[in-house]
Every structure is written in structure tokens, then in C-alpha cells.
Amino acid sequence: MTRVRDRYGALLLDLDGTLYRGQVVIDGAPQALAGGSQRLVYVTNNASRGPGVVAEHLAELGFQAGTEDVVTSAQAAARLLAEQLAPQAQVLVVGTDDLAAEVTAVGLSPVRRFNGSTPAAVVQGHSPETGWPDLAEAAYALRADAVWVAANTDKTLPNERGLAPGNGAMVAALRAASDREPIVAGKPYAPLLEDALVRAGTRNALVVGDRLDTDIEGAQRVDLDSLLVLTGVSTLAELSDLPEELLPTYVAESLDALNQPPVPASGGVGDLADRLRDNPGRAVTVRASRSEIR
């Protein structure tokens, strides 16, 4: 039987909660990804680090990754801004210097504070250093009708200690302060995954991640199959509350299921725990893949 991974030309891989938690690699993840012919593209909603830094971190943890293999929500957010703004337009950055560098890379001018002339846009990404003055500055700009792009709206960020507040928690504060809604670059919205597909060079791709509300829903929005791994945020219990169109194609306990044939679909989601237990190391098919539907 065909392994899960061999059905696809590329794997679009989430990072936090799928490959590692903070500085701690998830057991067996590097080994599970090694040895295949698929294009591996590392796709992160976390906008705090540039692709080179992310690739270096991945390599330190044992993954085969170069800068060209990493696509970040900061890059997707900067692309969206460049498509809407005039060259060298000022963009207020709420986030890290790496996010500001992506703004510069697309020909725009990042700023941290302003007086008088309102920035054309606000871009917001995760940073552990974001404080009230940063949010206040953004609120002033948003109240003055600046374009608002959020790199992502993840409510939480997995790390070695548990679930910390994610960028979505800070976005919620600005929503409340501005009565505005941002344009979102990251998963589950299409821009980041579309950028990843361009990098992969194929649409025959499998999205692999740990979150139903970002990775799996994002795959649905761009018409891709998905694998939910139970190593991060989402749990089996959450699947029972989802409409069929938002279910993943496969569910597995770990990434090593990529290297095994999937267990065929059978019934609904109610017996997934039993089927995973009865088929250790394998992914359980939850619904038909898009190739089978077509």
C-alpha cells in the first residue's frame, strides 16, 4: 500500500506544536521527515523570526531546512501590504525587527512611532516584547483609517511550558480599541499557504499541522488535503463538533504516520480513538482525499 507522504509532491509543514515546542523538538519528528522525495516547505504563522533564523533553528533541532524552504506569515503580510500601498509608504510595525525587515524588503518604510502624519498601514505580528505603548500607537493609527494587516490571529502559542498568549490575543486588544477588523495573512486565511504553494512548485501538497483552526481550516480554504497530528493544540474531542467540510483528511498521533499507509475511512469520527489505538503509528483517514473526490 502507498504511504501517506507518497501521495503528494510536497508537504507544507507547520512548526510550533508540529515539529517542536519552543526549544524542544517533538520526539521522532526529524527522523519522520527524512528520506522522502517530497518537497518540504516549512510554513509558520509565527511572524517573530525571519526565514533564515527559522531555518537555522530547524537545522539545530535536526531538520533538513534552508532559508529557501521557510515561508513565514511576516513575508505574506509584507506582500499584502506591498500590493495595496505606494512604494516607500510608512507602515507602523507592532512586532519584531524581523517583521520590520520584511516590510523593508518589499519597498515600504517601517516606523515604530509617529507624530502628525499617520502611517499608511499597521502590520502586527507576534513579539514577546509588545507592550501597551505599542498597542496604543497602533490604535491611534487605526482610528485614523490606516490599513491593518495581522500576520496571524492564533490565540495561543505552544512552548515547552504549555500554551502562551499568541498574536491573536494582541489582535483582540486592538479590535476592542479600534472597532476594526484586520486583513489576516496567516493560516487559516489563504495568503500564507498560497505563498507556500508557489515555493513548493506544486499544488499536489499535503498540509501537516496540529491546529484545526489554522492548519486544517487553512488547507480547506486553498483546496488541499490535510493531516492533523495530535502533538500540539487540537485534540480528538474537538473533531466531534466540526462540520464535515472542516475535518482533516487524516489524523495521526505523530509525524511518523507519514511513512505508513493510511487506515481507510470507516464511519464517522466517534471511533477515531479506538482506530488510532488499534493501528499504532498509522494515520486514520477521516474523509476522502481531494484526488479521490475529483
The residues annotated as belonging to the active site are 14, 16
For residue 275, give the amino acid letter.
R
